[in-house]
Amino acid sequence: MPKNNQEDFIMLTLIKRLPILQTFIAILFLLLQSATGLYLPYLTATIINQGIAKGNTQVIWVQGALMIGVAIIGLIGSTLNSWLFTKIAYELGGDIRSDLYRKILSFSKAEFDHFGSASLITRDTDDVTQVQNLVQMGLQFLLMAPIQLVGGIIMTWVLEPRFGLVFLAAVPFLVIVYLLIFNRVTPLYAKIQTLMDKLNLAFKEGLTGVKVIRAFNKESAEYDKYESLNQAYSKTSVTAGTIMGFFIPALSLLLNFASLLIVWMGAQFVADGSLQIGSIVGAISYATQILTGFASISFIIMMVPKGQISAQRVNEVLNQPLSISEPTATAPAETTKGLTFDHVDFRYLGAQKRALADISFSVKAGETFAIIGSTGDGKSSLVNLISRLYDAESGQVELNGVDVKQIPQEQLHAKISYVPQTAMLFFGTIRSNMLVGKPEATDDEIWQALEMAQAKDFVAALPDGLDSQVAKAGDNFSGGQKQRLCIARALLKDADVYIFDDSFSALDFKTDAAVRQSMRAKTGNAVTIIVAQRVASITTSDQIAVLDQGSIVGLGTHAELAKTNPVYQQIMQSQSYQEEDSSDAKY
The CATH number for 575's domain is: 3.40.50.300
Q: Around 162, how many Cα atoms within 13 Å sit in the side-chain half-sphere?
A: 13
In a domain, 206, yes or no: yes
Q: Averaged over 291-306, what is the pLDDT?
A: 73
Q: Does residue 459 fall inside a structural domain? A: no
In a domain, 516, yes or no: no
Confidence category of residue 369, pLDDT binned at 50, 70, 90: very high
In a shared domain, residues 295 and 360: no
CA distance 509 to 109: 32
pLDDT band per the 50, 70, 90 thresholds, residue 121: confident
Q: 259 and 393: one domain? A: no
**Starting at the edge strand that comes first in sequence, how are the strands of the sheet with 368-373 ordered?**
416-419, 497-501, 527-532, 368-373, 543-548, 551-556
**Are 199 and 124 within one domain?**
yes
Verify that 261 and 366 share a domain, yes or no. no
What is the rounded CA–CA span in Å between residue 178 and residue 185?
Answer: 11
Kindly tell me if the per-residue pLDDT of 460 is higher than 50: yes
Residues 368 and 310 in one domain: no
How many domains in the chain? 2
Amino acid, single-letter form, for residue 185: V
Give the residue numbers spanning the domain of 152: 20-318
Q: Is residue 445 part of a domain?
A: no
pLDDT at site 55: 82
Which pLDDT belongs to residue 459? 93
Q: Cβ(146)–Cβ(293) under 8 Å?
A: yes
Residues 225 and 95 in one domain: yes
Q: Which residues of 557-587 are buried (b: 16+ CB within 10 A; e: fewer)?
A: ebeebbeebebbbebbeeeebeeebeebeeb
Is residue 195 a part of any domain in this protein? yes
Q: Are 351 and 376 in contact (CB under 8 A)?
A: no
pLDDT surpasses 90 at 349: no
Residues in a beta bridge with 555: 545
- Of the candidates 399, 380, 398, the one whose C-alpha atom is nearest the C-alpha of residue 390 is 380
Q: 544-562 pLDDT, tens per residue?
A: 999 998 999 999 999 999 9
Q: Does 402 lie in the same domain as 257?
A: no
Q: Which helix (H) or strand (E) holds 494?
A: none
Report how far residue 267's alpha carbon sits from residue 276's, in angstroms, rounded to the nearest whole number: 10
Q: Which of 26-40, 499-513, 570-584 has the lowest mean pLDDT?
A: 570-584
Rg of the chain taking only CA atoms, in angstroms: 35
On the CB side of 480, how many CA atoms lie within 13 Å of its CA?
Answer: 11
Same domain, 277 and 399: no
Query: What is the per-residue DSSP string for 300-356?
Result: HHHHHHHHHHHHHHHHHHHTPPPSSPPPSSPPPPP-SSEEEEEEEEE--TT-SS-SE
Residues 164 and 247 in one domain: yes
Same domain, 175 and 65: yes
- Per-residue pLDDT of 320-337, as tens digits, reads 888 888 887 787 888 889
pLDDT at 583: 43
Q: Are residues 311 and 337 in the same domain?
A: no
| CATH at 314 | 1.20.1560.10
Q: What is the pLDDT of residues 436-459, one digit of tens each?
A: 999 999 999 999 999 999 999 999
Q: Is the pTM of this model over 0.85?
A: no
